[in-house]
Amino acid sequence: MGLQRWIHIGVLVATGCIAMSGGRAAAAPAFTNLSQTDFDAIGKELSANTSLHNVMGASSLGSIFGFEIGVVAGVASTKEIERLVQEASPTTEVPFIPHAGLVGAVTVPFGITAELAIVPEITAEGAKYSSFAGAVKWALSDELIPVIPFNLAVRGFMANSEFKFSQTINNASTGDLPVNVNVAYDGNVTGLQLLASPKLPVFEPYIGVGYLSAKGDLSVTGHASASFFDSTAQSATTKPTSSQFLAGVNVSLLLLKLGAEYSTAFGTSTYTAKLSVGF
């Protein structure tokens, strides 16, 4: 199956996941009277969703070379986002936000694996979303300490995302007149993780701990003074940090690979499933 076909499948999975989430809502997302504390809460949930979600454990893909490509889909819980959205639109439900797309990895000698997760820009329910995450994993148990009876790896990653939608603002900042504006969230997360798993041929359960640092920028454009913040500002920045715990499992059936992962960071739980091929 060609790379173009895999990208197409990844886009379809991501679009379907976001559409499924949007189908729970009675209206497009909207915020009102956000304080910095409110945005800090939003930023934590968005950062958890932006983080690396490729469902790859502690083992490398081969002693010399390995390759894997597939699709992932999952959700992050969004209690704070839903609470704040419902202040502007009580009938709107946002119980979770999705993440989905194309993932890939290549292992080279010395136990080094390059990993990525990408979502080309997709549109669903009037919102646009795109993301990219890249990582480098070093399997310490392959080269540095091969005598230990389990897989041990360290992974560093960087993830970026962009989320855009439009909403109507009608408050003092617009002269109490309804004004349509564009809202954009730009987020990035960097992280360092330590992963471990048993050395099993087919079934690889794994656990990991990490430390994540994030930054999120939320801005309102399209009107000279329109704002949904509790000040006259048209933008805000948040910089949360968090420890992370993750646990998952991968199953290899010849070329076919199945996986699932749970992660908690920034006070938010995420769940991700994977379907891929590799050798």
pLDDT for res 6 = 37
Which DSSP letter does residue 177 get?
Answer: S
Give the C-alpha distances (Å, rounded to integers) separating 110 from 42, 106, 113, 144, 211.
40, 12, 9, 9, 25
Write down the domain spans for the chain. Answer: 3-278
pLDDT for res 90 = 78
Q: Is 17 left (phi over 0), alpha (psi -120 to 50) or beta?
A: alpha
Is the distance from CB of 187 to CB of 43 less than 8 angstroms?
yes
pLDDT for res 232 = 82
pLDDT for res 80 = 86
* Ranges of residues in the chain whose predicted pLDDT is under 50: 1-27
Neighbours of 235 (CB within 10 A): 13
Whether the CA torsion 243, 248, 254, 255 is positive or negative: it is negative
Residue found by looking up tokens 């800090």 in the block: 40
Per-residue tokens: 75:
């959700």
Per CATH, the number for 3-278 is 2.40.128
Neighbours of 92 (CB within 10 A): 16
